[in-house]
C-alpha cells in the first residue's frame, strides 16, 4: 500500500493539520475538511444548548442524531488518511502513536469529569461521585456505551471522547494484524455490524459498538483519494434530494441505525460541499475553519460555557428573548474561546506547549 508521505498533523477531531497532496504535488491544507469539523462544533452548540435550556425532546433530537457519529466518522477518516499516509503500515511507531493518542483522549475524558464533579455544590458532588463509580454506570459508560453525557444531571459529560479513544486503540490493534491480512478493518466492521443486528433482534443496543462501526467506516473511506471524494460530493441537487428523503424517512421511522449511518454520510457530504466553495475564504468561513482546527477544544469549551450560563441563569425567567440571547452568548463565547486560544498560543510558548501536551 504505497501512499504519499505527509507531515503528521493529526489531531483527533481537534487541532488537526491534516495535509493532502494536491495535483500539483505540493502539500496543502484541506480547508473543506476543517470547515466540516468547525460546522459540526457550531451545530453541537445548538445541540447542547437545547439540552441545557429547553430539555431537548425526541422530536427535535432525532434531526441532530448525526452529530456524535459524525465526529467519530471523521476521526476514522483521519486515521487512515493522515496516519496511514505518514507511516508505513508495518512501522511500529504508527500503532504506538495511535495508542498514545487513544489513551490521552480517554485520560482527558476522565480528567474533565473529575473537574466537573469538583465544581458541583457539595451535596450534589457526593451523589455524582457515587453514581459515576457505581458498577452499573461504569459498565454503561465504558463498556455498553449508554450515552450519559450532556445534561446537567447526567453522571458523565464529554461522552463522545470514550468511543473516539476506543477507535484509536482498536485501530492500533488491527494494524498489528493487517500485515497478515490487509482486509482486517473490513472484516471487523462486518463483525460489528452483525453484532449490532443480533443485539437489535434481542431488543438490546450498544452505543459504543454502533459508534465504533461508524468509525471503522470512516477508516475505510479514508483510503479514498481526496480528489475522488471531491468529485463525488459535487452534485448538490442529488445530495439535497437524498437529504430530503432521509429527513422524511426518520420522521416516519425515527433514527434506526441504518438511517443514522445514511444521515452521517449525507450530512457530512453537504457540509463538506459548502466548505469546498471558493478558494479564498471570507470572514465567516475562516472562522468556521479555525473552529475545525480546534474542534476538540471547542467541544470542551462549549460544555463549560453552557454550564456556566445555565448555572448563572437558572433562576431567571428568560422568556423567548432571553433564551435567544443565551444561545447567541454560547455561540459567540465558543468562537471567542477558540480565537483567543489560537492567538495566545501564537504569542506565549508555555501555553502552546501546554495545549500540545493535552490536545496534540
For 293-339, give the DSSP string: HTHHHHHHHHHHHHHHHHHHHTTS--HHHHHHHHHHHHHHHHHHHHH
DSSP state of 10: -
Residues 53-103: tens digit of each pLDDT = 887 656 788 899 899 999 999 999 988 887 776 766 667 788 888 999 999
Per the listing, cell 507531515 goes with 7
Cβ proximity of 46 and 64 under 8 Å: yes
Q: Once rounded to an integer, what is the mean pLDDT over residues 256-261?
A: 95
Task: Give the pLDDT band (50/70/90) at residue 342.
Answer: very high
Percent pLDDT > 90 in the chain is 48
pLDDT of 13 above 50: no
How confident is the prediction for the chain on average, in pLDDT? 82
Q: Once rounded to an integer, what is the mean pLDDT over residues 146-164?
A: 67
Nearest to 307 by CA among 123, 158, 105: 158
Least confident of 93-97, 132-136, 138-142, 147-151: 147-151
Give helix then strand counts, H and E, for the chain. 17, 2
Q: Residue ranges of the domains in the chain?
A: 19-359
pLDDT of 155 above 90: no
> Quick one: pLDDT at residue 26?
35
Which residue(s) pair with 168 in the sheet?
Answer: none
Task: Give the pLDDT band (50/70/90) at residue 135.
Answer: low
> Quick one: pLDDT at residue 72?
96
Task: Give the pLDDT band (50/70/90) at residue 12.
Answer: very low
> Quick one: pLDDT at residue 351?
93
Cβ proximity of 214 and 261 under 8 Å: yes
Residues 319-341: tens digit of each pLDDT = 788 888 999 999 999 999 999 99
DSSP state of 20: E
What's the grid cell of residue 227? 480528489
Q: Once rounded to an integer, what is the mean pLDDT over residues 124-152?
A: 63
Least confident of 97-101, 187-191, 265-269: 97-101
Torsion 19-163-167-352 (CA) sign: positive
SS3 call for 27: strand
Residues 290-315: tens digit of each pLDDT = 999 999 999 999 998 998 888 887 77
How many C-beta atoms lie closer than 10 Å to residue 168's C-beta? Answer: 26
> Quick one: pLDDT at residue 16?
38
> Quick one: pLDDT at residue 123?
62
Nearest to 116 by CA among 150, 147, 70: 150
Whole-prediction pTM = 0.85
> Quick one: pLDDT at residue 360?
75
Phi, psi of 307, deg, nearest 5: -65, -40
Q: Once rounded to an integer, what is the mean pLDDT over residues 193-206?
A: 94
Nearest to 16 by CA among 298, 331, 340, 278: 298
Dist CA 45 CA 38 (whole Å): 11
What's the grid cell of residue 144? 455498553
Cα torsion through 100, 101, 103, 107, rounded to 10: 130
DSSP output for 107-144: HHHHHHHHHHHHTS-HHHHHHHHHHHHSHHHHHIIIII
Give Cβ neighbours of residue 334 (< 8 Å, ≥ 6 apart): 41, 42, 45, 291, 298, 301, 302, 305
Dist CA 126 CA 122 (whole Å): 7
Q: Once rounded to an integer, what is the mean pLDDT over residues 103-124?
A: 80
How many C-beta atoms lie closer than 10 Å to residue 310's C-beta? Answer: 18
Percent pLDDT > 70 in the chain is 80
Q: Which H/E stretch holds residue 239?
A: helix 236-253
> Quick one: pLDDT at residue 194?
97
Dist CA 154 CA 132 (whole Å): 9
Please tell me the chain's helix, strand, coil percentages from 3-state DSSP, rounded to the nearest 5.
75, 0, 25
Dist CA 39 CA 47 (whole Å): 12
> Quick one: pLDDT at residue 14?
43
SS3 call for 19: strand
Amino acid at each position: 500500500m504505497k501512499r504519499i508521505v505527509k507531515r503528521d498533523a493529526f489531531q483527533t477531531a481537534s487541532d488537526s493539520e491534516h495535509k493532502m497532496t494536491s495535483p500539483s504535488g505540493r502539500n496543502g491544507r484541506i480547508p473543506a475538511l476543517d470547515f466540516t469539523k468547525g460546522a459540526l462544533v457550531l451545530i453541537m452548540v445548538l445541540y447542547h444548548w437545547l439540552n441545557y435550556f429547553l430539555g431537548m425532546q425526541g422530536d427535535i433530537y432525532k434531526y441532530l442524531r448525526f452529530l456524535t457519529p459524525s465526529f467519530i466518522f471523521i476521526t476514522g477518516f483521519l486515521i487512515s488518511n493522515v496516519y496511514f499516509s505518514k507511516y508505513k503500515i508495518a512501522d511500529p511507531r504508527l500503532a504506538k502513536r495511535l495508542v498514545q493518542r487513544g489513551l490521552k483522549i480517554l485520560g482527558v475524558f476522565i480528567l474533565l469529569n473529575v473537574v466537573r464533579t469538583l465544581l458541583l455544590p457539595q451535596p450534589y458532588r457526593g451523589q455524582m461521585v457515587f453514581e459515576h463509580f457505581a458498577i452499573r454506570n461504569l459498565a454503561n459508560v465504558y463498556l455498553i456505551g449508554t450515552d450519559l453525557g450532556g445534561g446537567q444531571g447526567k453522571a458523565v459529560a464529554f461522552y463522545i471522547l470514550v468511543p473516539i479513544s476506543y477507535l484509536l486503540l482498536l485501530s492500533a490493534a488491527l494494524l498489528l494484524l493487517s500485515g497478515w491480512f490487509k482486509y482486517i478493518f473490513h472484516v471487523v466492521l462486518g463483525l460489528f455490524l452483525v453484532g449490532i443486528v443480533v443485539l437489535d433482534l434481542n431488543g438490546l443496543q450498544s452505543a459504543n459498538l454502533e459508534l465504533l462501526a461508524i468509525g471503522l467506516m470512516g477508516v475505510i473511506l479514508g483510503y479514498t483519494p481526496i480528489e475522488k471524494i471531491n468529485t463525488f460530493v459535487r452534485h448538490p441537487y442529488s445530495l439535497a434530494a437524498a437529504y430530503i428523503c432521509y429527513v422524511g424517512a426518520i420522521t416516519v421511522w425515527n433514527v434506526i441505525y441504518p438511517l443514522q449511518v445514511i444521515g452521517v454520510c449525507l450530512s457530512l457530504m453537504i457540509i463538506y460541499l459548502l466548505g469546498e466553495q471558493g478558494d479564498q475564504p471570507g470572514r465567516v468561513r475562516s472562522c468556521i475553519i479555525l473552529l475545525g482546527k480546534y474542534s476538540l477544544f471547542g467541544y470542551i469549551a462549549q460544555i463549560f460555557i453552557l454550564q456556566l450560563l445555565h448555572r448563572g441563569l437558572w433562576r431567571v425567567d428568560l422568556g423567548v428573548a432571553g433564551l435567544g440571547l443565551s444561545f447567541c452568548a454560547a455561540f459567540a463565547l465558543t468562537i471567542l474561546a477558540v480565537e483567543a486560544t489560537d492567538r495566545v498560543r501564537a504569542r506565549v510558548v508555555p501555553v502552546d506547549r501546554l495545549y500540545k501536551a493535552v490536545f496534540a
